[in-house]
Structure 1
């Protein structure tokens, strides 16, 4: 079963108007590319969305992330994103603002942004073939570590210290069926790191 789409953190969601379109333009462009490749989407069997994208937004004081359960939407826009303004990994808590609640993976994205100030974007996708073939080949989180938890945040800290995740910016989430994650200085680089796995 795809372990996705279910929010595991405590959330303080402040409903608000969509962000300006310019704030999500690059996110939208890359997310649509990932959607066309089947790396973001909706699992019909389990009725859950999968995959999410985010960018750090220093001016807004947080990061912009795709909303929970938006995986089935091909052409997203400003109303499908949320601004995470505060969080606590240890307390498993997120505060977000926007027309939708932040993705269930928001704490995982937050943990990766904490690794280095130069990380500007995070992309999380699903691909069973890539997941099966790259587990243990790329930096890989522990099989007993579920997504959206403080334990997953600590796993990424470990990978950043001990593996090529620091330099290559891509990892497999062994305890999260079909899950891969990449970061970059911007969302285009993070997306390229995922798409290059098909080359």
Structure 2
């Protein structure tokens, strides 16, 4: 049975009511409430002080932390305030997997949900619809909270010497990364260092497997079993170094729940993109797929995943793989990731860019 707990101080009548409602709903759905967090607890609701938002210190990578913060604004402030820009730093400062950002004005309460992938969507609280309200909150949170991360890496210093400086495919990836930048499809990474201490940065890398929120990635198949992929947190517009900017992915180790990566000797490798498990699944099933691009953008008329699973989870990888499998042409599919972006397959990187140029829009719909 999955277990959950609530930490932090309920500083207002609404937060007290809201957290009791979440506690009752998760308990009714089969979760076990713990007065104090156990080592392998599955879900933690962490109530934040907006003046001093403190992270919950996980003891297990699988613990999913949902931070909760409350603010009061008048109606004019809510309409003029950039709620996403105000909310997102709280997600980062609290080292959370998800943020519930509660805004009140004189007549209405809005519940915003914020994700590290910049998902940002809301529910309006109607006092006469309490039961359906908590059902909607649960349906938003539980699928993502119960998903399984695959962000560990096994680095092996066994990359063949002929590939230490890359090849024609890595050169094409370098050029494609610059093209993404030219198309304005590489949003500026969030300035983590402005919000986190060095201790919190180390915790972030350990828990999420990232060194910076640099959005988008691309990969190219080398042969039947192996592919090249952009590393996590690197400048996608200037990928040159093998083992650091571009990695050679050789498989997925189910026993250690980790991606297998070959690197040159005597370097400090960067971590693989958290989407490596998704790319691996697609390449494994579809021999005709020669390249994959993931961007935080959108296209009209596409099929999308039903749940906005977090990046780097088995569930997201499986959901995208299912849609690729059922596409008319799996080797040339455009798949939407709900509240997130696109995954695009192609015979090669040129094929992908020829098909998307002039058709993508930067604003991802939030539903």
TM-score, scaled relative to structure 1: 0.79
SS of corresponding position for 2:154: strand
Cα distance, 1:167 vs structure 2: 6.4
Does residue 187 of structure 1 match 2:349?
A: yes
- Please tell me the root mean square deviation across aligned C-alpha atoms, in Å: 2.9
Does residue 85 of structure 1 match 2:258?
A: no
Cα distance, 1:26 vs structure 2: 0.9
Give yes or no for contact 1:14–1:96 (8 Å, CA) kept in 2: yes
Partner Cα separation in structure 2 for residue 189 and residue 52 of structure 1: 16
- 1:46-86 per-position Cα deviation (integer Å, ceiling 9, x unaligned): 65111111111118x5100011101x353221341000112
Partner Cα separation in structure 2 for residue 180 and residue 89 of structure 1: 26
Give yes or no for contact 1:11–1:93 (8 Å, CA) kept in 2: yes
Task: Show the 5 A alignment for 1:11-160.
Answer: 11-14=153-156, 18-44=164-190, 48-58=213-223, 61-70=225-234, 72-79=235-242, 80-88=245-253, 92-98=257-263, 99-127=269-297, 130=298, 134=300, 137-160=301-324
Cα distance, 1:196 vs structure 2: 4.3
Structure 2 gaps of 5+ residues are 1-114, 119-148, 193-211, 264-268, 362-367
- 1:23-59 per-position Cα deviation (integer Å, ceiling 9, x unaligned): 4111111111012222234333565111111111118
Which has the higher mean CA deviation after the structures are superposed, 111-120 or 189-198? 189-198
SS of corresponding position for 2:306: coil
Partner Cα separation in structure 2 for residue 117 and residue 189 of structure 1: 16
SS of corresponding position for 1:83: strand
Greater relative contact order (CA < 8 Å, ≥ 6 in sequence): 1
TM-score, scaled relative to structure 2: 0.45
Partner Cα separation in structure 2 for residue 51 and residue 29 of structure 1: 15
Structure 1 gaps of 5+ residues are none
SS of corresponding position for 1:30: helix
Give yes or no for contact 2:221–2:228 (8 Å, CA) kept in 1: yes
Give yes or no for contact 1:13–1:95 (8 Å, CA) kept in 2: yes
Partner Cα separation in structure 2 for residue 125 and residue 154 of structure 1: 18
Select the residue among 160, 173, 196 that pairs with 2:337. Answer: 173
Give yes or no for contact 1:139–1:164 (8 Å, CA) kept in 2: no
Bigger radius of gyration, 1 or 2? Answer: 2
